[in-house]
Amino acid sequence: MTIYFDNSATTPVRKEVVDAMITFLSESFGNPSSIHCMGRDSFKAVAKARQNVAKLLNCEPTEVYFTACGTNSNNSALLGRARFAEANNLGKHLITTVIEHPSVIGPSKFLEANGWKVTYLPVDKEGFIRKADLENAITTDTSIVSIMWANNEIGTVEPIEELSNLVKAKSVEYNKEIFFHSDAIQAAGKVRIDTKRCPVSALSLSGHKFYAPKGVGIMYLRKNTNVMPLFFGGGQEKGIIPGTEGLTNIVAIGEASRLAHAEFDQLETNLRQMQTYLIEKLSAINGIQITGTRDLQKRLPGHVSVAVENAEGEALVMQLDMQGVCVSSASACHKGIIEPSHVLSALQVPCNMLRGSLRISLGKFNTMDECKTAVAIFEKVFSSVPAKKEMVST
């Protein structure tokens, strides 16, 4: 039996979601832009999905845009706003963080190569942005701030309400709208996201992180906030994300959003229970350090990350896989050299632990029994790591 503890990488598609999709594959398959009855049915299905997403985010359905994935949402928000900022002389300064996902770092580097100034905010040893650092970084030239809601590798949940309010206050002070984007891809369905409380301009979500299929995402864009398109086509999604709507995937992410909203408390309680157990058991093993914060109120429910002394993350993943446990590592082997992740490097994890990172991410279908079985396997695999091993340095 395989124990799947890699839900931050991707989740299975829920049965309810599959059931909702099936009708729209071969029965009610019309193009939502067609004006006949088949098209109208599809149009209604897209509208219903938009409403369900809006409930999850406490926003208006008109503020929800469907995209092809989380990466697409991050790029559309950042580069789309950058185009708008350039066209309107709003300033070419972007602030982001050193621990973002490559789908935020990538567009940031692209902008940097195209004449933008980019500030990468540091984090403390637990992975949190300091409010003062953000405040000091904002200048009259700043037009975009992008700070992830929750980190995929270490599970830290940034204080987005506080940070977005700070950016809003700076916007008032400088009499210009500073666009605040947050990559909420790991947070959706696990952390309450309330756009009425948090004055974010834009958010990114990805379906496959909360029980919808791969290949569908969401960009939330606050009313009256402008981004310019990166692609051009038939005008769908108000011309911002054009292309015939991925009907079945949109239906799926709508149903997944409805379920995430309805079952939020139950899921959080279950994930917290298993997470607390795993953190307690893993902390007791010699040579293991929990990375990220131990304050569960500031950590994604169900997310546990550790660094194993003198170990290589990918080798651990393979050994655990052979024992039937699927987890992931942020330290990857490139051309024979184990490279620590940019996130762990930013946390200043000790050198002898940097390459032995593991992420254990629980989901809706995991059980306490699985956690107990897995702990015995973790103990066995971790104890087989040689006490001191020659590590290849980079």
Where on the chain is the footprint of ligand PLP (CB under 6 A)? 69-71, 74, 101, 103, 148, 152, 183, 185-186, 206, 217
For the CB of residue 8, give the shortest distance to ligand PLP in the complex, in Å.
6
Query: Residue 347: which H helix or E strand, with range?
Result: helix 342-347
Q: Report the chain's C-alpha Rg in angstroms.
A: 22
Residue type at position 143 = S
| Measured distance CA(2)–CA(12) in Å, rounded | 14
Nearer to ligand PLP, 138 or 185 (CB): 185
Is 371 designated active site? no
Give the separation between CA 24 and CA 45, rounded to whole angstroms: 9
The region, left, alpha or beta by phi > 0 then psi within -120 to 50, assigned to residue 267 is: alpha
Q: Which two tokens stand for residue 25?
A: 């594959």
Min dist CB 263 to ligand PLP, Å, is 21
**Considering beta carbons, is residue 41 or 158 the nearer one to ligand PLP?**
158
Q: Which is nearer to ligand PLP, 185 or 240 (CB)?
A: 185
Q: How far is the CB of 293 from ligand PLP (least distance, A)?
A: 17
Angle at 223 between CA 219 and CA 228, to 5 degrees: 60
Q: How far apart are CA 318 and CA 324, in angstroms?
A: 10
Give the strand pairing for 93-97 and 288-290: unpaired
How far apart are alpha carbons 363 and 361 in whole angstroms? Answer: 7
**Min CB(101)–ligand PLP separation in Å:** 3
Closer of 42 and 182 to ligand PLP (Cβ): 182
Beta strands 202-206; 179-183: pairing state: parallel
Judged by beta carbon, residue 103 or residue 275, the one nearer ligand PLP is 103
Q: How far is the CB of 262 from ligand PLP (least distance, A)?
A: 23
Of the pair 201, 328, the CB lying nearest ligand PLP is at: 328
- How many other β-carbons are positioned within 10 Å of the β-carbon of residue 237? 20
Closest residue to ligand PLP, judged by C-beta, is 70
Q: Which of 69, 326, 333, 351 is an active site residue? A: 333
Least Å distance between CB 195 and ligand PLP?
Answer: 18
| Closest C-alpha to 79, from 112, 38, 34 | 112
| First-last CA distance in the chain | 37
Residues with a catalytic annotation lie at 333
